[in-house]
Structure 1
Amino acid sequence: MNKLLTIALVLLVFSCKTPEARRPVTVKTGSFIDASVERNKQLNAKEKAFIENLMKQQEKEYIASGNGFWYYYNNKVENDTLKTPAFGDIVNYDYNVKDMNGSIIYSAKDIKTQTYAMDKEELFTGLREGLKLMKSGETVTFLFPSQKAYGYYGDENKIGTNVPLICEVTVNSITENQTP
């Protein structure tokens, strides 16, 4: 009996061990992400060089935006009383989309006149930021690198993966947001 009690006590002490976490069979590193970042940096540098070369060939006064794209005014409105759109303002505009060779992908007729509630609706990044720079009556030509246009996915129609774009945009009117 004493022997049986001793064995039971020993088994009880050694079986009360806390569970140990199992180690993963494979350890993943950030190599895929690192490679993706490197590819995107190279793509961005290549597109930037291409766009800068294109700008040198044209005799336009391009402005580099703080948002990673370039533009020039086809028609600039010098009236200081006109304002650029703010959050919630309704912008009525026309635009076309071209590839970097100047070939039209979507004409203004294809796209039709657009109405956009500033920062409240979906719009590709470059165009959304570009509209914020414009006043009513202005026409601006934008050069968007692919990450400011449709990026990796394209538009799933005529614009493919990582395609930089040229967009000529005319703001017809800006209606101020009336909601407080």
Structure 2
Amino acid sequence: MNKLTVLLFTFTCLLACKTPEARKPETVKTGSLIEASVIRNKKLYETEKKAIEAYINGQDTKQFTASEFGFWLAKDSIVGESNDSKVPEFSDIVNFDYNISALNGQTIYTASELKNRNYAMDQEELFTGLREGLKLMKSGETYTFIFPSQKAYGYYGDENKIGRNTPLISRVTVNSITKK
């Protein structure tokens, strides 16, 4: 009986002590919302791009070029003689003036409403397009930027005067750059 008990115990251990099997994940279909969002954003981008190109084609005095950052820019002028030929870098203080208009030419914010501003590069809040545009400018330069909505205030707008998904035009003058 002793041999039978040992044999039965060994047989039970072999059957009961198998290695654990990994559970297979449940297949859940997701992404339909993301796919719809991608399609909607592509349509929005194409609509804005056509409106921006129509605006650019209507400009006789300014030559706009597309930047690698996803917006358009035109150099307006250089105010005075600039001794500083360098663009701002991280943590440099940029003193600038700017205004914001809609593509139809309607002024949204004047330069006096927005006031002269000191901005620590990449350390303060500023909408994406303007932050990237300032990185291209030198002291004393004035540029006109055209920002598609995703580079401006995007889906929410500024919750004041700028509506959602609104492309913007901004004329920016860099007064000075203080190196850190």
Q: So what's the TM-score if we normalise by structure 2?
A: 0.81
CA distance in 2 between counterparts of 1:141 and 1:49 reads: 18
**What residue is the counterpart of 2:85 in the other structure?**
83
The count of aligned residue pairs is: 177
Q: Equivalent residue for 1:111?
A: 114
SS in 1 for 2:150: helix
CA distance in 2, matches of 1:117, 1:45: 33
| Contact preservation (8 Å) 1:105, 1:158 | yes
Select which of 68, 71, 75 maps to 1:69. Answer: 71
Residues 1:48 and 2:49 are matched in the alignment: yes
1:58 alignment partner in structure 2:
59
Gaps in structure 2 of 5+ consecutive residues: 1-13
Residue in 1 that maps onto 2:3: none
Q: Paired residue for 1:154, among 149, 152, 157?
A: 157
> Aligned AA for 2:77?
N
Pairwise CA RMSD: 2.6
Which residue of structure 1 aligns with residue 8 of structure 2? none
Percent identity (aligned): 61
Unaligned runs of 5+ in 1: 1-12
- Residue 28 of structure 1 and its aligned partner are, at CA, apart by 2.9
Q: Deviations over 1:88-123 (max 9, x none)?
A: 110000111111111111111111111101111111
Asked if the contact 1:84–1:132 (Cα under 8 Å) also holds between the matched residues in 2, the reply is no
Q: Which amino acid aligns with 1:61?
A: Q
Say which is worse superposed, 57-66 or 15-24, in terms of deviation. Answer: 15-24
Question: d(CA) in 2 for partners of 1:58 and 1:166?
Answer: 13
1:14 Cα offset (Å): 9.5
